[in-house]
Chains A and B, each alone.
Chain A
C-alpha cells in the first residue's frame, strides 16, 4: 500500500511528444482510473509509473521515494495487461509463482502463497493447466492472481477487461472492485470505457492528447465537468450540445443559430449577451407538448427500461432518454424541454465551463 505522486511528467518518442507535463497524486488505497480516447497517452503514463517506459522529464514517486531510476521490480508494483501476457509454456501455478521464484523465495513457501491466492480467485482447479487451456475470463483471473500473489504496493491495470465479452466484463468489474476493498491496495487502472471508470473508480483522471483535463470523483466529473470534452466523454448516451446566444433579459432562454428559442430553467452569470454551448444529458431532457422546442423523431430505440430517441432539432441531432413508454414513429414531431436545473453551459471558444448562476 502506497501513495503515488506524479510531478510534471513528460514523454517524447523522438520528436513526437505524447505526454505534456502531467501532475497528479494518488492516496494510499485509492482506486484511480485513467480514461481518455485512444492514443491520449494512458498506457504510456501507466508504463512510466511501472518503469517499462523511460521518463523524458518529471518525476514519479511511490510512497515518497522518487522511482525514476528504479527497475520495475524495485518499484514493488504489479501489472495486469490487456492481453494477459501469461507465459504460454508455464502452468497457471508457475505463471503465478514466477516472480516469487525470481525473488528466491523457498519452493514450499511459493506453493503455499500461490495456493492461497488461487483460493481467493477460484483458480485452484486450474493450477496445473497451461494458459492455452483456459478461457479468456480464466486467463484474466490468472493474470490478476499473478499480480496479487506478490502483494505489491501498487497495482497497475491496462485495459484488463477489454478482451472479455460484455457479461463477463460486468462480472469482473464487480470482482475487481470487491478485490480492491479486500486488499486495500492502491490501484491505477487504465480504460477507455467510461462506464468502467464511472462504476469502479474512487477518482477519475480524464486525459486528452497527453494532458489532464480533469481529476475528480465520478460524480464530481459527471455533475461538474470543467469543459465540453469531459462533459461529452462521461455519461451514456453522451451529453447533447447546442450552440446559441444567451439572452440577458427576460426568462432564461437560448436563441439557436436557426432562430429557434430554447427555454431554460436557469442561466449562468455572464453579464452580457454572449455565444455559449448548452450541454444537457439525454436523461435530463423531457417532453413538453406546450412549451417545448419542436423536433422531428429520427430513430427510436426501446431498451425495455426506457426509450432512446434521436431527434432532429433545428438541424442538429439531439438524443434523449425518455422513461415513459411512448407511441412514437419515425417522422413524428415532438416537443422537447431543456428546462432542467442540470443544464451545463460552456464558452463557445474555450469550451470551458461557465460558472453556474440562476
Chain B
C-alpha cells in the first residue's frame, strides 16, 4: 500500500511516454497543433510501403546489430581475459579501456569526426605517412564506407562495457576448477573451453542482450558523426524515428518507427533470454 504513490509516479514518468508513443503512432500530429488526428494504420502503411529511407535504416540497423553482437563482446572478452592475468599495470589498463564508456556519445562522435577528417584527420595522416595515400577512403563521406567507419567508433566506445561485465564474470570462475583441469591434463584452450566458458554463460547472455538493445538504440553516435548521411546511407531506425519527429515534425510516423523498433527489440531479446534461461536450467 505504501508503494502505491511511488508506483503511480513511476507509471506516470516511465510507462506513460511509452503509451503515448504507441497512441501517437496511430495519429497525425506535427508537435505543435492541439489536435491529434486519428489516422489508424496509415503511419505504419506509409513507413513500410512508401518510405525507402525506412528500409535503408532497417537494413543498416540489422547490419549494425549483427556486428554489434559480434565485435564488441568478442573483443571485450579477449581484453577481459588478458586483463584478468596477473600483470603489472592491469588496474590502470582496465580503467583506460573502460574510459570511453563513460564519455558522452556525442563527444565520442565529435572526436572521431576529427580523426576521420579527410585532410587533417589522424587516419588520413597515418596512411599518408605510410605511403598509402591512394588507399585513403573518404571515411564518412563515402556511402559504402561511412557506416563501417561509424561502427569502428562505436566499438571503441562500447568494448569497455563488455569488458567490465566479462571481468566481473571471470571473478566467478572457480580457481579450484582450473586446478582440477590442469591436473586432468587440460591445456589453456581446454581450460577455457571446459571451465572458463561454462562459468561465463550467464555473463554472455547478459552481454549479448545488452549489446543487442544498445545497438538497436544506436542513435547519438550516428547523429553526431553523419546525421544519417551521406544520402541516408547511415540512417538507422532509432535515428529515423528521431528525424521524423524532431526535424520533419511528423510525430505520428516517428512514433510508428519507434514502435516497430521496440517490437523488433522484444522479438529478439525475449526469445533469446527464455532460451538461454532454459539452457541454464538444463545445465544444472
Chains A and B belong together in one complex: yes
Report the bound CA distance from A216 to B71 in whole Å. Answer: 61
Which residue on B lies nearest to A94, using beta carbons? B194
State the B residues within 8 Å of A (CB).
174, 176-177, 179-186, 190, 194-195, 198, 283-284
Q: Is A114 an interface residue (CB 8 A)?
A: no
- The one of A52, A73, A85, A132 in contact with B177, judged by C-beta atoms closer than 8 angstroms, is A85
Residues of the B chain whose Cβ atoms lie less than 8 Å from the Cβ of A77:
183
Q: Is the CB of A99 within 8 A of B176?
A: no
Q: Is the CB of B176 within 8 A of A73?
A: no
The B interface is mostly helix, strand or loop, or mixed, namely: helix
User: Separation in Å of the A3 CB from the closest CB of chain B?
Assistant: 20
Report the bound CA distance from A45 to B65 in whole Å. Answer: 51
Residues of the B chain whose Cβ atoms lie less than 8 Å from the Cβ of A73:
182-185
Residues of the A chain whose Cβ atoms lie less than 8 Å from the Cβ of B183:
50, 52, 72-73, 77-79, 99
Q: Is the CB of B176 within 8 A of A83?
A: yes
Q: Is the CB of A89 within 8 A of B283?
A: yes
Report the bound CA distance from A83 to B181 in whole Å. Answer: 14
Question: Within A331-354, which residues are at the interface with B (CB < 8 Å)?
Answer: none
Residues of the B chain whose Cβ atoms lie less than 8 Å from the Cβ of A72:
182-183, 185
Residues of the A chain whose Cβ atoms lie less than 8 Å from the Cβ of B284:
88, 130, 132-133
Number of A-B contacts (CB under 8 A): 63
Residues of the B chain whose Cβ atoms lie less than 8 Å from the Cβ of A52:
179, 182-183
Which residue on B lies nearest to A73, using beta carbons? B185
Report the bound CA distance from A81 to B181 in whole Å. Answer: 12
Report the bound CA distance from A77 to B179 in whole Å. Answer: 13
Residues of the B chain whose Cβ atoms lie less than 8 Å from the Cβ of A79:
179-180, 183
Given that A102-B190, A130-B283, A130-B284 are contacting pairs, would A87 and B177 also be in contact in the complex, using a CB cutoff of 8 Å? yes
Q: How large is the interface on A (under 10, 10 to 19, 20 to 34, 35 or more residues)?
A: 20 to 34
Report the bound CA distance from A326 to B239 in whole Å. Answer: 90
Q: Is A26 an interface residue (CB 8 A)?
A: no
Q: Is A98 an interface residue (CB 8 A)?
A: yes
Q: Is the CB of B283 within 8 A of A99?
A: no
Q: Is the CB of B176 within 8 A of A103?
A: no
User: Separation in Å of the A129 CB from the closest CB of chain B?
Assistant: 11
Given that A102-B186, A130-B284, A132-B284 are contacting pairs, would A81 and B180 also be in contact in the complex, using a CB cutoff of 8 Å? yes
Residues of the A chain whose Cβ atoms lie less than 8 Å from the Cβ of B194:
87, 89-90, 98
- A315-326 contact mask (Cβ, 8 Å, vs B): 1 or 0: 000000000000
User: Separation in Å of the A42 CB from the closest CB of chain B?
Assistant: 15
Report the bound CA distance from A286 to B198 in whole Å. Answer: 61
- The one of A78, A81, A87 in contact with B195, judged by C-beta atoms closer than 8 angstroms, is A87
Q: Is the CB of A98 within 8 A of B184?
A: yes
Q: Is the CB of A85 within 8 A of B186?
A: no
Could you jot down 9 A-B contacts, CB within 8 Å?
Answer: A52-B179, A52-B183, A71-B182, A72-B183, A86-B180, A87-B195, A87-B198, A130-B283, A130-B284
Given that A130-B283, A130-B284 are contacting pairs, would A85 and B179 also be in contact in the complex, using a CB cutoff of 8 Å? yes
Which residue on A lies nearest to B199, using beta carbons? A88
Report the bound CA distance from A146 to B180 in whole Å. Answer: 10
Report the bound CA distance from A85 to B178 in whole Å. Answer: 9
User: Separation in Å of the A322 CB from the closest CB of chain B?
Assistant: 44
Report the bound CA distance from A51 to B174 in whole Å. Answer: 18
Residues of the B chain whose Cβ atoms lie less than 8 Å from the Cβ of A98:
181, 184, 186, 194
Residues of the A chain whose Cβ atoms lie less than 8 Å from the Cβ of B283:
88-89, 130
